[in-house]
A = this chain, B = another copy of it.
């Protein structure tokens, strides 16, 4: 499908996503140190839950922007059906949204 994505036209979205991913990366590095330091399993599970929350929010933000920009654009050009199918195919793989 379209390869001119939502990120090009929306520097605020791009910055927000980069920030969310960096935060998730920082959390994961912390979780790895917790595992290396043999910390308590339940505390590690809670940290994994926090990263899952960040990734769900990032996925939702991105899918929303994609629909607002790329899918809307495709619809306006009469190529909406393929764009919508592709979006829902991707959403299907998300473990949590």
The answer on a CB contact under 8 Å between B14 and A21 is no
Q: Which 6 A-B pairs have the closest CB atoms?
A: A41-B66, A52-B95, A49-B93, A95-B96, A7-B38, A96-B96
Task: Provide the bound-state CA to CA distance between A24 and B28, in Å.
Answer: 8
Report the bound CA distance from A40 to B6 in whole Å. Answer: 8
B45 and A94 contacting across the interface, CB-CB below 8 Å: yes
Within the oligomer, what is the number of copies of this chain?
4
What secondary structure prevails in chain A residues at the interface with B?
Answer: helix
Known A-B contacts A8-B38, A21-B28, A96-B52; A68 and B44 likewise in contact (beta carbons under 8 Å) = no
Contact of A18 among B1, B32, B75, B81 (CB under 8 A): B32
* Chain A interface residue number, banded: 35 or more
Mark A residues whose CB is within 8 Å of B. 1-3, 5-8, 14, 17-18, 21-22, 24-25, 28-29, 31-32, 35-36, 38-42, 44-46, 48-49, 51-53, 55-56, 58-60, 62-68, 70-72, 75-76, 80-81, 84-88, 90-97
